[in-house]
A and B are shown apart, each in its own frame.
Chain A
Amino acid sequence: MANLFDRWERKLSSSDISLIIEFLRTETPDLFDKIKSYDESAAKAFLDGFIAYGWTLEEILSSKSSLFQRLKEYVNLDGILYGNTNGVIPHSPQLTSASISSGLLHYPNSHTTSAGDNQKMSNAGMSLTSLPHEPVDNYVGPPEYSLLGPEIIEDLWEMSASELDSILAQTDELTDVQNLMDLSTWVDCFTEDAGGFW
């Protein structure tokens, strides 16, 4: 008899999997809803993993991949990117204790702060993982980002208008770079790699 791994990786056909989902959806709605309640935290964990092995938020956002599109249904990546670029504060900072502690792009834990650890950190300060069942609706307004410590957030309130303008100008420049990257990322990427192999 196959174990769980064998079943899902070797035994079940595409039609089997569709049938399993159909059963759960139509016959066990409570269980189905319970499974779905993990969607958002799972999506964040998935995106964290992508970032951990080398994807950037910009690449994920610009990709046309159906998987990324699916994950974006649960995570507000646009908000994260445009609120987090180069550590620049969002246009209308309305950070609250609740939003900061919501877990989105949370601060690195103390056990991950050593130099050695940072090298292997998934994406230090860029983790997307959050509390399970946290609704996407929580992401109203500018996103939080972990690169800002409390002391930096405090400094923002003391920022002059000219300083803020300067930062917003930088944001615009980075947005331009992002737009340039909207070209077929995979083709460009492949072209670059292919030269090394062929």
Chain B
Amino acid sequence: MQSTASASPLSSHSDTVFSPNTRGFNGYVSPSEGTIPSSYFGSPQHGQIFVQSACSSPLLDNPSPKPNLLLGNLHKGSSHDILCRAKKFFNARMGSRRTRINYLVRSIQGFVEAPALAADFAEDLWSSRSAIFVKPATSNCSTRLQSLYEGHRKIKGARDQHPYAARFCYIYLEHDLEALSQSQVLVLSQGRGKMTAAFELQAEIISTTVDVVKSERKAGRGYLQLLMEGGPGFILRLGRNVSTL
């Protein structure tokens, strides 16, 4: 479930500062700050209707919101307003696809709640302290991919501790694997389907299976699209990972 609301004032866009040096990799000064109350979305069992019920709140129709136990300050009212607008926006575009709309509104919620990052946030991303990558002695496509994939595997199981690096790694993988797929030499040398040959080669380089490669690439495509269409900053602003199970 989502964490509960905090009474402390907070920018609607979360000015909580994240510094991996001093605040841990989860990066939250307070796990509850700025979070939309769980009851805003309803229980997971009723996930398909939670947005609708939230936007029936008086906050939507009243420019001077009444005191609300769930939305205790103006900032949270602002967040609430954004999510209600998101629900209406997506509803208008997507009709009755409520499960899908819930995914989208929760994604917007992530952007709203994303903790601010300290100026030095990136210094530990790839530094010796986290030691995600071991730079290959000689750099070519294979050694790069191997170094990348080893680093990716290393942090994949600890994604809450490496939320940014984990997303970056998926983008790197998708980028490098796609670049490899584009090689004309690949087609000529294999004499068969370009994608099949590419997947097989990629799997061999990183010592895994074609199915795993396909799965990894699928995971990276969303992030890459977000970066390309929105901008690099979007990847840092997806929000915290909160299990809703």
Contacts and interface: CB of A to CB of B under 8 A. Distances in A.
B59 interface: no
A4 B228 contact: no
B143 A54 contact: yes
Given A9-B222, A12-B103, A12-B222, A23 B108 contact: yes
B168 interface: yes
Contacts of A10: 218-219
B229 A52 contact: no
Interface residues of A, number: 78
B201 A129 contact: no
Contact of B232 (A74, A109, A190): A74
B232 A43 contact: yes
Contacts of B13: 30-31, 34
Interface centre among A27, A30, A118, A120 (most CB of B within 10 A): A120
Nearest to A48: B126
10 contacts: A1-B47, A3-B243, A10-B219, A16-B107, A35-B111, A42-B231, A53-B135, A120-B135, A123-B126, A194-B201
Given A1-B106, A24-B108, A196-B142, 6 more contacts: A3-B242, A23-B104, A28-B85, A123-B126, A187-B185, A190-B186
Interface of A: 1-5, 7-12, 14, 16-21, 23-24, 27-28, 30-31, 34-46, 48-50, 52-56, 63, 65-67, 70-71, 74, 109, 111-112, 117-123, 127, 129-132, 186-187, 189-194, 196-198
